[in-house]
Amino acid sequence: MVKKDTLLTTLGRNPQSHDWAVNPPEQRASTIIFPTLKDFEDAQTGKTVETTYGIYGTSTARHLMQALATLEGGDKTLLYPSGLAAITGSLLAFLRQGDHLLVPDSVYGPTRRFCDSVLRHYGVETEYYDPLIGGDIASLIRDNTRVIFTESPGSLTFEVQDIPAITAAAKQRGVITMLDNTWASPLCFQPFQHGIDISIQALTKYVGGHSDLLMGAVICKETHYKKLFNTSRWLGNAVSPSDCALALRGLRTLAARLEQHETSALALANWLKDRPEVTHILHPAFEECPGHEYWKRDFTGATGLFSVLFKPFSRNALAAMVDNLQVFAMGYSWGGYESLIIPFNPKNDRTVTHWSHDGVCLRIYAGLENVEDLKQDLEDGLRRLNRH
Ligand SMILES: *Cc1c(COP(=O)(O)O)cnc(C)c1O
């Protein structure tokens, strides 16, 4: 098989099916028509046409779905209107009233909010676990445990999970495993090779790549497809063909962009590590990052997002630093071409692990700007901070 960066330029294209144009067209449709009664009947059983209604996606979506499934080594892709919708759609597909769900304490905040509200109201019990639990997750599996959710590295705090140990324990008890693979993207971590059943990513981030797209994807093997598909269709999820075309465009340059994000993030993290204001770097490629050994063993690279823990300083000092940055901007999300920085406090979002750091935490996303300019921006910011 050709290498991933080559795959990215060839997947999800089929020029002979659309006048030999390099890229597939944006095919817009709600209604799909059936020339004969036989076509109409055959379509109900999926025999003749690939779609019976625009809500299931037109050929533009199918090109994207096929590309993502091949890239990850899965059979099928489902598309959702956001990364969060891909997560909630997956959980709803497999959980029933009375079920027990295991979720890492370092999970993406909105995922936690969904579990604590919607799932709780529908009678699903969520138990949070230490993201570094590894194979000991077996001791938390009950007879009614249906799903183990994972996210590696964790949002904001970057704990890398021992995914093979967790999926091995889950398999022994017939529990389904899901992974939010947004940070690594399919280029740096292969979910199926590590035993994951349901691979989820926010295409909003690296695949979109330009801060102008919201979309999520779930990739699975054939065995889990029907449940996911039916739940998604009954919920009424649909994505726009224009957004699918943007996601396909993003895929073409993903490898080149990720390489730059990885290099710049490592350069910034290494530079920050030696600053007197800094106490910890939470970047999976750093030994001091919890679970670093699993990153080294299981991942094929790093990407552009990491966190920095600082010594305590005042809110005014922090404002002096971040209010006047010239290149970095403050904003949620990441994965675009532009660098971002946000302060965060994980204390409020933990229920089973203890967050002991007292100083300021900043999450940094290294964009595609020249890394010397990024360093200078941070250095100027730290100078302003130290004046307070
Ligand atoms: C951003 C993000 C999501 C959600 O993606 P949206 O498209 O913004 O809904 C899910 N998981 C992780 C880890 C993310 O960073």
Q: What is the pLDDT of residues 93-126, one digit of tens each?
A: 999 999 999 999 999 999 999 999 999 999 999 9
For 152, the token pair is 């590696």
What pLDDT is recorded for position 356?
Answer: 87
How far, in Å, is the centroid of ligand 1 from the Cα of 57?
Answer: 22
Ligand 1 close to Cβ of residue 180 (< 6 A): yes
**Residue 134 Ramachandran class (φ > 0 left, ψ -120 to 50 alpha, else beta):** left
DSSP, res 81: S
Question: Ligand 1 pocket check: which of 79, 84, 161, 179 to mutate, most ligand atoms within 8 Å of Cβ?
Answer: 84
Q: Confidence class of residue 72 from pLDDT cuts 50, 70 and 90?
A: very high
**Residue 130 Ramachandran class (φ > 0 left, ψ -120 to 50 alpha, else beta):** beta
Q: How far is the CA of 288 from the CAs of 188, 281, 292, in angstroms?
A: 20, 7, 7
pLDDT exceeds 90 at position 194 = yes
Strands 216-220 and 76-80: antiparallel
Going by CA atoms, what residue is nearest to atom 15 of ligand 1? 182
What is the rounded CA–CA span in Å between residue 234 and residue 243? Answer: 22
Q: Confidence class of residue 45 from pLDDT cuts 50, 70 and 90?
A: confident
What pLDDT is recorded for position 209?
Answer: 98
What is the rounded CA–CA span in Å between residue 374 and residue 128? Answer: 37
Sole residue written with tokens 């203890």:
354
How far, in Å, is the centroid of ligand 1 from the Cα of 80?
Answer: 12
Sole residue written with tokens 């892709």:
77
Ligand 1 close to Cβ of residue 202 (< 6 A): yes
- What number does the ligand 1 atom closest to the CA of 204 have? 7
What pLDDT is recorded for position 232?
Answer: 96
Region 81-101: what's the mean pLDDT?
98
The residue among 183, 179, 128, 127 whose CA lies nearest residue 155 is 183
How far, in Å, is the centroid of ligand 1 from the Cα of 256?
Answer: 22
Region 42-54: what's the mean pLDDT?
81
Ligand 1 close to Cβ of residue 333 (< 6 A): yes
What is the rounded CA–CA span in Å between residue 321 and residue 272? Answer: 14
Whether residue 24 is preceded by a cis peptide bond, meaning omega within 30 degrees of 0, is no
How far, in Å, is the centroid of ligand 1 from the Cα of 183?
Answer: 9
What is the rounded CA–CA span in Å between residue 354 and residue 6? Answer: 44
How far, in Å, is the centroid of ligand 1 from the Cα of 215?
Answer: 9
Render pLDDT for 219-249 as a digit per residue (tens, 0 to 9): 999 999 999 999 999 999 999 999 999 999 9
Region 140-168: what's the mean pLDDT?
98
Q: H helices within 236-351, ranges in order? A: 241-273, 292-298, 315-322
What pLDDT is recorded for position 44?
Answer: 84
Task: Output the pTM of the full model.
Answer: 0.97
- What number does the ligand 1 atom closest to the CA of 183 have? 13
**Distance between alpha carbon 156 and the CA centroid of its chain, in Å?**
13
Ligand 1 close to Cβ of residue 84 (< 6 A): yes
Render pLDDT for 304-324 as a digit per residue (tens, 0 to 9): 999 999 999 999 999 999 999
pLDDT exceeds 80 at position 1 = no
Region 77-103: what's the mean pLDDT?
98
Contact 191, 72 (CB under 8 A): yes
pLDDT exceeds 90 at position 43 = no
Q: How far is the CA of 219 from the CAs of 64, 65, 77, 179, 388, in angstroms?
A: 12, 9, 4, 10, 49
Render pLDDT for 244-303 as a digit per residue (tens, 0 to 9): 999 999 999 999 999 999 999 999 999 999 999 999 999 999 999 999 999 999 999 999
Chain-wide mean pLDDT for the chain? Answer: 96
What is the rounded CA–CA span in Å between residue 93 and residue 232? Answer: 8
Q: In sequence order, what are the beta bridge partners of 216?
A: 80, 202
Q: How far is the CA of 155 from the CAs of 152, 183, 338, 367, in angstroms?
A: 8, 9, 19, 18
Region 23-46: what's the mean pLDDT?
91
Contact 305, 363 (CB under 8 A): yes
How far, in Å, is the centroid of ligand 1 from the Cα of 204?
Answer: 7
- What number does the ligand 1 atom closest to the CA of 216 have? 7
What pLDDT is recorded for position 87?
Answer: 98
Render pLDDT for 128-137 as a digit per residue (tens, 0 to 9): 999 999 999 9
pLDDT exceeds 90 at position 48 = no
Render pLDDT for 326-362 as a digit per residue (tens, 0 to 9): 999 999 999 999 999 999 999 888 999 999 888 999 9
